[in-house]
Amino acid sequence: MLTPKQYKLLQYINKTIKETGCCPSFDEMKEAVGLKSKSGIHALIEALVERNFLRKLPHKARSLEVVRLPKLKPSSIVEEEKKREQALLDAMVEIPLYGKIAAGTPIEAIANETEKFAVPYETVRGGQFYALTVEGDSMVDMGILSGDTVVIKKASTANNGDIVVALVDDSEATLKQIKQEGPDVLLIPKNEAYETRRLPASRVKVQGILSSLYRNYN
């Protein structure tokens, strides 16, 4: 069963693809369904993909394809899902978006909050969270692409194998897999084009652990 906004977005994507041959942009989708944030559109798209109404097409701009349309009429969906949609909207919360994080060569340390990022409340219970936009391709083998938004749970320690935000020398922030080896810390990329960095543990501070990831299909 689709919510009204899921149904409206699906119909809009289908209509736009038929008329133009291209999937609409996120800004166009926001305007069509009356949402203010791209993360809200992302949540609707993920739900439609999960229910097999949409399919993601890799390596293509605006990479969405309509698989099928629902059998129920819009009026039925509105009546049956009105309360559920409101509950979902009420359950969204905003967390700080702190700019970009390198998944490649480390960039300067995370600065001030630039804007907010909306996420489902259930995904950020039991801790403090913030969001970062990924820049670089060193984590592609973990499915983390440049332009993705990662949600980070604040933490000062991590287990071997965790994907973390690591601050090097109090000046460079990077997103890498971490591993402790004796007195050293390994910052491990997930792309064969990059080398693992071995640093004294005193030079590396964990700033948080990867909790979830959101992708913009613009």
81 with 123, same domain? Answer: no
Is 37 annotated as catalytic? no
Tokens of 85: 């949609």
On whether both 137 and 49 belong to a single domain, the answer is no
Domain match, 104 and 207 both: yes
Res. 212: pLDDT tops 70: yes
d(CA 71, CA 111): 48
**One domain for residues 102 and 174:** yes
Q: Is residue 135 located within the same domain as residue 86? A: no
Q: Specify the pLDDT at position 88.
A: 66
Q: What percent of the chain stands above pLDDT 70? A: 85
Domain identity same for 100 and 148: yes
Residues 181, 114, single domain; the answer is yes
Q: Which domain holds residue 55?
A: 4-90
Number of domains present in the structure of the chain = 2
Q: What percent of the chain has pLDDT over 90?
A: 51
36: annotated active-site residue: no
Last residue of a domain, one of 90, 107, 137: 90
Token pair in block for residue 122: 């259930």
pTM of the model: 0.60
Same domain, 74 and 12: yes
Which amino acid does the sequence have at 94?
A: E
Q: What is the pLDDT of residues 81-108, one digit of tens each?
A: 667 667 766 788 899 998 888 876 665 5
- The SS3 assignment for 13 reads helix
Which of 5, 176, 190, 212 is catalytic? The answer is 176
Span 104-142, pLDDT tens digits: 666 555 656 678 999 988 888 889 999 999 999 999 999
Supply the CATH number for residue 53's domain.
1.10.10.10
Please check the confidence at residue 73 and state whether its pLDDT lies above 70.
no
Name 181's Cβ contacts closer than 8 Å, sequence gap at least 6. Answer: 198
Which of 46, 74, 90 corresponds to the end of one domain?
90
Q: Is the pLDDT of residue 60 over 70?
A: no
If asked whether residues 139 and 192 sit together in one domain, one would say yes
Catalytic residue among 5, 38, 100, 138: 138
